[in-house]
Amino acid sequence: MFNRRQFLYLAGAGAASLLNMNGFPFTKAAMAASKNTEFSPDVELSLRATPSEVQIFPGQPTTVWQYTGQVIKGDPNGLMHLDQSYLGPIIRVRQHQKVRIHFKNDLPATSIIHWHGLHVPASMDGHPKDVIPTGETFTYEFEVLNRAGTYWYHPHPHGRTGHQVYGGLAGLFLISDAEEEKLNLPADQLDIPLVLQDRAFNRDNQLVYLPRGMHDSMTGMLGDSICVNGRPDFKLAVSTRAYRLRILNGSNSRIYKLAWSDGTPLTVIATDGGLLEKPVEKKYAVLGPAERIELWADFSQYPVGKSLELVSKYFEPAIQGRAMGPRRGMTGAETLPNGAPFSVLKINVATKETETRSLPQKLSAIERYQRQDADNAEHPRQFSFFMRHMRGLINGRTFRMQEVADDERIRLNSTELWELANDDRRMGMMMPMPHPVHLHGKQFQVIERRGALHSGYVDEGWKDTVLLMPGERARIVTNFTDYKGLFLYHCHILEHGDMGMMRNYLIT
Ligand code: C2O
Ligand code: CU
Ligand code: CU
C-alpha cells in the first residue's frame, strides 16, 4: 500500500505533476460575484496562494504551499506576517467593516478560500463548487458581521482540503469590536496568536502526507512534530504580566487536551465565536480540529527565570502502549496517535514588569438559547456521522457537490435545534473515530451533550465546531438569518471531509 510518490509530499517535480491531477470542473461563474459596483470597501487586501520554501530545520528548506498578502486599502497593520512560518498572514479587521479580498491562485491545483466561522453570503463562503484554476483570481466582498473573535481561513477544494491545509495554507482572521475594546484586554505584543498543527517531516525536511494511505485517511493525518505558528519546539519569552493567548487548533486531525504543566487551571475567556460572558476556569480544555479558545494567562505570580509548558495530556483514543512523546520519525503517523501526551510549547518568564490589568469578571453579553427557543424544539433535526466502507457519511449519505436532501432544507430566519451524533460506535467500527462537526456560515450554541471528555469542553459561548467523540451526541441551536443559499456542514477531520463526510444545507 505504501506509495513512494505520495510519501514525498510536494517535493520535486514528480510530486508536483501528481498534484496537477485533480479533476475538478473550473467555474468561471464564481467571478461574477466581483462585479458588484456598489460595494465600496473599507479594507481591500490581496491574498495569493503559491508554492514556497520555509527554513524550518537546519539544512534543506521545506517546500510548502503558502498564502502571502498585501494591503491595498486600509490600515497597513490589517495584515501581519508571522516570522519564518508557512502560515498565511494574520488578517485583522473590525466588525462592520466592508472587506474586499482578491484571491489569486498560483498553486498547481484548483483552490478556493473559505472564511471559517464568518457569517457571509453563500457566494462568498468559499464553497468547493467555486474553486478557481491556476492563474485565476476570485474576489470576495462582504461586510464583517461577526462579533470580535479569533476566526481563520483555509482552502476548501473538495477532496483536496486536507492536502492543501497540511501543505501550509491557513491563516488567522481576527475581528475586533466595540464591546471587546471596552475591556482593555492585553493587546499588541501581549495578544499572542498560537496556531497548533502537527506535521510529519522526512529526513530531507519535507512534509509527508498520508504515508500509510487509507489508514491515515481513516484516522486523519497525524504528524509527530507539534508545530506552533509553523515552528516545531516553539518557545515563548514572557514578562510577569497578563497575556491574551489566542489558540487555534489548525491541525488536520489532532485533538488537544490542553493544560498548564504546573497544574494551574486554564482561564478561558473566549471560544470559536468570541468572548464568553465571563471567564471560565478549567483543569484542562479539549480542542478538536478547527476549534479555538482564548486564554487569559497571567504570569505575574511567577519569578523571573521560571519555565512552564503548555501541554496536551493523555486521553483515551491513544492506542495503548504507543502513547509516547513526539519523535521525529520517518513516517510519523504511528509514533504519536491521537490521545498521546506531548508538550505544545515552552514558556520562559524572562523579564519583570508591573501588571496594570486585572481579569474582567464580565466579558460580554450572550443571550443563551434554550431548547424551547427552537421552532422545532420537539423534533430536532438529526444528523448521524459515521464512516463506512472507507467513506465518510452523514445520515448515510456522502458528499455531492450541489446535492441537498429534504432534511437539509432550512427556512430563512428560522431558529433550529439540531442533534449531532457520532455513530461510529453504533456502526461497529473497528476503530471508532472522533468527528468534530462544523457548520459553515453560522455560529451556534451547544445546549446539551453527553460524552467522555466532558469536563474539557468549553460550551459556554458561541461555537462553529463541536467535537463529538465516538458515541457522543450534542444538541445545538442556531438561527438562520440574513443569507439564503447553499452552505456546507462537515466533519473537520479534513481527511474525513475529503472522504465525503460533508453535506450541503440550503437556506431558502
Ligand atoms: Cu474550516 Cu468547511 O471549514
Ligand atoms: Cu467553515
Ligand atoms: Cu470525522
* Residues 348-378 pLDDT 10s: 999 999 988 999 999 999 999 999 999 999 9
Distance 307 CA to ligand 1 centre (A): 36
Please, are residues 422 and 436 in contact by the beta-carbon 8 Å criterion? no
Selected residue with higher pLDDT from 135 and 453 = 135
What would the pLDDT profile of 412-469 be if each residue is shown by its tens digit? 999 999 999 999 988 888 788 999 999 999 999 999 998 766 789 999 999 999 999 9
**Closest ligand 1 atom, residue 488 Cα:** 2
Task: Spell out the CATH class of 4-178.
Answer: mainly beta
**CA gap 113, 55 in Å, rounded:** 25
**CA gap 260, 247 in Å, rounded:** 14
**Closest ligand 1 atom, residue 152 Cα:** 1
> Do 4-178 and 188-351 share a fold?
yes
Residue 317: which pLDDT band, with cuts at 50, 70 and 90?
A: confident
> Tell me, what's the pLDDT at 36?
52
Q: Which of 24-28, 64-68, 130-134, 408-412 has the lowest mean pLDDT?
A: 24-28
**CA gap 359, 216 in Å, rounded:** 42
Q: What is each CA distance from 144 to 119, 148, 276, 429, in whole angstroms?
A: 8, 10, 20, 42
Is 154 close to ligand 1, i.e. is its CB under 6 Å away?
Answer: yes
Percent of the chain whose predicted confidence (pLDDT) is above 90: 84
Is 116 close to ligand 1, i.e. is its CB under 6 Å away?
Answer: yes
- Residue of the CA atom closest to atom 3 of ligand 1: 116
- Residue of the CA atom closest to atom 1 of ligand 1: 116
Cβ contacts of residue 144 below 8 Å, gap of 6+? Answer: 93, 94, 95, 96, 97, 98, 99, 118, 175
Is 488 close to ligand 1, i.e. is its CB under 6 Å away?
Answer: yes
Distance 117 CA to ligand 2 centre (A): 5
What would the pLDDT profile of 147-199 be if each residue is shown by its tens digit? 999 999 999 999 999 999 999 999 999 999 999 999 999 999 999 999 999 99
> Tell me, what's the pLDDT at 32?
43
Which sequence spans correspond to the domains of the chain? Answer: 4-178, 188-351, 371-507
Cβ-count burial of 106 within 10 angstroms (0-12 exposed, 13-18 middle, 19+ buried)?
middle
Q: Could you give the dihedral angle defined by the CA atoms of residues 461, 506, 399 and 438, in that order, rounded to the nearest 10 degrees?
A: -10
Q: Which of 37-46, 49-58, 64-73, 190-199 has the lowest mean pLDDT?
A: 37-46
**CA gap 232, 234 in Å, rounded:** 5
> Tell me, what's the pLDDT at 37?
63
DSSP 278-334: EEEEES-EEE-TT-EEEEEEE-TTSPTT-EEEEEE---TTSPTT--PPP---SS-GG
> Tell me, what's the pLDDT at 318?
62
> Tell me, what's the pLDDT at 397?
98
Shortest-distance ligand to the CA of residue 386: 3
pLDDT reading at 15 higher than 50: no
CATH H superfamily, domain 188-351: Cupredoxins -  blue copper proteins (2.60.40.420)
> Tell me, what's the pLDDT at 25?
30
> Tell me, what's the pLDDT at 319?
58
SS3 assignment for 98-138: EEEEEEEECCCCCECEEEECCCCCHHHCCCHHHCECCCCEE
Shortest-distance ligand to the CA of residue 500: 3
**Closest ligand 1 atom, residue 465 Cα:** 1
pLDDT reading at 335 higher than 60: yes
Is 163 close to ligand 1, i.e. is its CB under 6 Å away?
Answer: no
Shortest-distance ligand to the CA of residue 291: 1
Give the helix/strand (H/E) hosting 468. strand 465-468
- Using the 8-state DSSP alphabet, how is residue 28 labeled? S
**Closest ligand 1 atom, residue 154 Cα:** 1
* Residues 15-48 as b or e (16 or more Cβ within 10 Å = b): beebbeebebeebeebeeeeeeeeeebbbbbbbb
Task: Spell out the CATH class of 371-507.
Answer: mainly beta
> Tell me, what's the pLDDT at 452?
65
Residue 4 C-alpha cell reads as 513512494
> Tell me, what's the pLDDT at 250?
98
pLDDT reading at 31 higher than 60: no
**CA gap 489, 399 in Å, rounded:** 10
Q: Where are the alpha helices (DSSP H) in 134-282?
A: 161-166, 178-181, 214-219
Percent of the chain whose predicted confidence (pLDDT) is above 70: 89
Instruction: Give the mean model confidence (pLDDT) for residues 68-96.
Output: 97
> Tell me, what's the pLDDT at 23?
30
